[in-house]
Amino acid sequence: GSFMMVNSSGRASGQKAHLLLPTLKENDTHCIDFHYYFSSRDRSSPGALNVYVKVNGGPQGNPVWNVSGVVTEGWVKAELAISTFWPHFYQVIFESVSLKGHPGYIAVDEVRVLAHPCRKAPHFLRLQNVEVNVGQNATFQCIAGGKWSQHDKLWLQQWNGRDTALMVTRVVNHRRFSATVSVADTTQRSVSKYRCVIRSDGGSGVSNYAELIVKEPPTPIAPPELLAVGATYLWIKPNANSIIGDGPIILKEVEYRTTTGTWAETHIVDSPNYKLWHLDPDVEYEIRVLLTRPGEGGTGPPGPPLTTRTKCAGRTLLPDCFEMCSCCE
């Protein structure tokens, strides 16, 4: 075990002492338990004890468990159920914060790593990565095994240390429960990491970090290319290989309209070149390409337009191909 004792008498307020456990690379379900003790001469609390779980040498973040404002009757046991496994590694940090003018002691003793699940703190199942398109709701599914009570507090912690509130909780049965947590910011393309934390009376459970991947729906960089023009058709090449945003592209569509009209029509394109039929002669059309990637909200804004005019309606007299126009005076 490790021992830390802080005498808060006569120290500056908010003075901190730290106990760092060795880095752990556990390969199986395990439990860390420890005992803590708050004593004071005048029955007022000597301060606070915070526990942090730092993963892969990353930021310390916010505490996953803490206690303050108490004087304990002797030693109290608490547990940490940490679902971070090899090849990832983590470090547990105990921090005591003393209150000036509150003489007393904060102590931590007998920190143990046990090769079995915690008895009171719930263990999380593996938290899965979530991918969404910009502007869509992202939700993480926090699922834990163990007893669960209405007083337990559950939240998401971001890699940079910020905490996100819990939105919806659902109990599955008395040995397992799950909660759905919504993440607010999906306004731009990004990758961030989150983990689930639950605080029950016996301690805390902490999941692995999972990624929230926010993708940008694709849009073509170049306008479609014109291959051939007739009086009632246009052959085009969508030109959808160079994109802004993210693939994979699961759907290509051509949107076309007359430059003077208000209507627009959209056709699905499933070949490298596409023929727009049944057009009116001698009319200017604007043609854009729409691209879609997987997931809700995966269609990007239309790409730049190709503006082109259909030919006149004429009669072609073979064999010398003299074209009689009705419209190209």
User: Tell me, what CATH number does 253's domain have?
Assistant: 2.60.40.10
Q: Is the pLDDT of residue 284 over 60?
A: yes
Instruction: Pick the closest to residue 19 from 31, 43, 35, 39 (CA basis).
Output: 35
Asked whether residue 40 is domain-assigned, the answer is: yes
Specify the pLDDT at position 295: 96
Specify the pLDDT at position 289: 98
| Whether residues 103 and 14 fall in one domain | yes
> Any idea which of 7-11, 96-100, 318-322 has the lowest mean pLDDT?
318-322
Asked whether residue 301 is domain-assigned, the answer is: yes
Specify the pLDDT at position 15: 83
Asked whether residue 54 is domain-assigned, the answer is: yes
Count how many domains the chain has. Answer: 3
Total-model pTM: 0.84
| Whether residues 127 and 102 fall in one domain | no
Q: Last residue of some domain: 215, 232, 267?
A: 215
**Whole-angstrom Cα distance, residue 188 to residue 129?**
17
* 93-149 tens-digit pLDDT: 999 998 877 778 899 999 999 999 999 999 999 999 999 999 998 989 999 988 777
| Whether residues 207 and 226 fall in one domain | no
Q: Which amino acid is at 293?
A: R
Task: Pick 9 or 206 by higher pLDDT.
Answer: 206
Asked whether residue 326 is domain-assigned, the answer is: no
Q: What is the mean pLDDT of residues 147-167?
A: 81
- DSSP of 143-210, one letter per residue? EEES---TT-EEEEEETTS-EE---EEEEEETTEEEEEEEE---SSSEEEEEEEEEEETTEEEE---E
| Whether residues 184 and 284 fall in one domain | no
CB count in 10 Å sphere of residue 21: 16
- DSSP of 206-250, one letter per residue? E---EEEEEEPPPEESSPPEEEEE-SS-EEEE---SSEES-----
Asked whether residue 315 is domain-assigned, the answer is: no
**Whole-angstrom Cα distance, residue 97 to residue 120?**
26
| Whether residues 103 and 56 fall in one domain | yes
| Whether residues 232 and 192 fall in one domain | no
| Whether residues 94 and 12 fall in one domain | yes
Asked whether residue 323 is domain-assigned, the answer is: no
| Whether residues 77 and 155 fall in one domain | no
| Whether residues 136 and 182 fall in one domain | yes
Q: Is the pLDDT of residue 327 over 80?
A: no
Whether the Cβ atoms of residue 126 and residue 178 lie closer than 8 Å to each other: no
Q: What is the CATH number of the domain that holds 90?
A: 2.60.120.200
Q: Is the pLDDT of residue 13 over 90?
A: no
| Whether residues 73 and 95 fall in one domain | yes
- Round to the nearest angstrom and report the end-to-end CA distance of the chain: 98
pLDDT category of residue 315 using cuts at 50, 70 and 90: low
Mean residue pLDDT of the chain comes to 89
Q: Last residue of some domain: 199, 215, 231?
A: 215
**Whole-angstrom Cα distance, residue 74 to residue 53?**
26
State the residue range of the domain holding 210: 123-215
Asked whether residue 63 is domain-assigned, the answer is: yes
**With b meaning 16 or more CB within 10 Å and e meaning fewer, what string describes 100-132?**
eebbbbbbbeebeeeeeebebbbbbbebeebbb
Q: What distance lies between CA 133 and its chain's CA centroid?
A: 11
Instruction: Pick the closest to residue 183 from 251, 132, 255 (CA basis).
Output: 132
Asked whether residue 106 is domain-assigned, the answer is: yes
Q: What is the mean pLDDT of residues 158-177?
A: 76
| Whether residues 19 and 109 fall in one domain | yes
| Whether residues 65 and 135 fall in one domain | no
Q: Extract the tokens encoding 218.
A: 């694709």
Q: Last residue of some domain: 159, 180, 215?
A: 215
* DSSP designation for 120: S
Specify the pLDDT at position 329: 43
Whether the Cβ atoms of residue 143 and residue 124 lie closer than 8 Å to each other: yes
